[in-house]
Structures are given as C-alpha cells and as structure tokens.
Amino acid sequence: MNAPLATPASGPRWLYLHGFASGPLSAKGVWLDAYWAKQGITLERLNLRVPSLEHLSLHTMLDTVRDALGAPNDRAVLIGSSMGGYVAARTAEADPRVGALVLLAPAFHFVEQLQRRLGPKAWAEWQRTGFLETDDHAEKRRTRVHHGIMQEAQLLDAKRGPWPDVRVPTLIVHGRQDDTCDVRYSREWAKGKRHVRLVEVDDGHELTASLELIAREADVFLSPWRGVEPARQVFTGG
C-alpha cells in the first residue's frame, strides 16, 4: 500500500481511539486507516495502553488524547471504539478542540456494564485482589488489569455526571447483538439529541461485518471536516 498522504494543514486531525485491552493495531483502526489514506486523510491511531495495560489509567488515557489534539487553535475529529468511544466522549465534553465524534459501540456506563457481566462474586474478587484476569487482544495473551481504572471512572462519573455532556455532532454505530456494550445505552444517550445520529446494525461488539457501512456513514457525516476546517459546531438542542 502506498504511504498515506498528509492531511491538509488547514484541516482537523483525525484520531482513532482503540478499545479496552486492544491497541493501535486493532483491526478496525487499521482498516479505517487504510480506507481514509486512499482519500488523503491520515488517521492517527493513538496508544491508550497507558501507562500500561496492567495499570491502565482513565486519566492517563484522557491526558494522552488531549496531548494529541495539538495546539490551542487546532481541531480534531475523534473516532473511538468501545472504551475508546467513552474516552472520546469524555474528551469532547471538556475540550473545545474536538469538532466531531464517531463512536463505535461506545462503552457508556462501562463500570455498570462490567459489573453486570462479571457478576457480584467476580466483581468483589477484583476489588479484593486488585487485579482482574483478562485477554490482551493486542498481544494475544492473558494479562491482568488493576481495579484502579474502575475507581477512576466512578469518581469521574460522580464529578461530571454518568453521561458525557457532548455538544458536538456525533455519529454512533452500534450492533444489536453486542453482548459487551449493550446497545440500549447508546439508545438512551442519543435519545432526543438532534446533534447525534445513531445507526444500529445487525452485528456484534467488534463490528467486523459492518466496516464498509461504518466507512460510508462516516464519510457522509464527516464531510464538513474533510480537508477544510469548519467553524466549531455547538448544539444545545435535546
């Protein structure tokens, strides 16, 4: 494949935020990178395994994204998958440099969702021992993650509210068969928001069967941000 062309200096940065226990080489991120490279758009795939997967920190992830947004007058489009979608939304609610979001199966209320999936016994064990055994999808091995990220998320939700207060144009693509991040949370968050478009697909959490659809939807939705920087659009309507 030819090297991607640089995004025009006048345009916003396009940043990809991978999901939990994934990495910059995630299948969706690599596919979208190659797809948009053909159009002269560089998709920067951030590394959110910070400071490490074992000691994953929500605040360090948010700092990593903020640092990647650039100078005070720069603008960016954030494309976030799963937990990366949650981080993208939390960034957008607090940083005026974010002009638009594309969220793929975003992990809204992820503490609540993980508690339900694990069950009370496993959740209590994670709290007691401090670590949860899980799969590292990037390195194809078993690993463990410290419980601190759950405490960070609970504190952030208590401070800002459980739903990210995002006012910029947002596209969500979410699978109805998603058994990791339930689509009903995206439905609830999108309800009544004129600046949010929710597209439901017959797919699971990975959305591997929906990549072409994601690309088509994003191309249309992000057309104002393709090469020429628009004025920041702020919506207040519900």
Is 170:103 a contact under the CB 8 Å cutoff? yes
Q: Which tokens in the block code for residue 186?
A: 């995206």
Q: Which tokens in the block code for residue 219?
A: 């191309």
Task: Please check the confidence at residue 227 and state whether its pLDDT lies above 60.
Answer: no
Which residues, at least 6 apart from 144, have a Cβ–Cβ distance to it below 8 Å? 54, 131, 132, 133, 134
Task: Please check the confidence at residue 3 and state whether its pLDDT lies above 80.
Answer: no
Going by pLDDT thresholds of 50, 70 and 90, the confidence category of residue 226 is confident
3 state SS of 110: helix
DSSP-derived letter for residue 57 is: -
Which residues, at least 6 apart from 226, have a Cβ–Cβ distance to it below 8 Å? 11, 39, 41
Is 169:100 a contact under the CB 8 Å cutoff? yes
Which residues, at least 6 apart from 161, have a Cβ–Cβ distance to it below 8 Å? none
Nearest CA to 104 among 7, 13, 32? 32
The mean pLDDT of 157-163, rounded to a whole number, is: 96
pLDDT tens, 95-138? 999 999 999 999 999 999 999 999 999 999 999 999 999 999 99
By mean pLDDT, which of 8-12, 79-83, 158-162, 166-170 is the weakest? 8-12
pLDDT for 11 equals 83
What distance in Å separates the CA atoms of residue 124 and residue 37, rounded to the nearest whole number? 45
Nearest CA to 79 among 51, 46, 109? 46
Task: Please check the confidence at residue 238 and state whether its pLDDT lies above 80.
Answer: no
pLDDT over 90 for what percent of the chain? 89
By mean pLDDT, which of 134-148, 165-179, 199-213, 221-235 is the weakest? 221-235
DSSP-derived letter for residue 224 is: G
3 state SS of 184: helix
pLDDT for 2 equals 41
pLDDT for 10 equals 60
Q: What is the pTM of this model?
A: 0.91
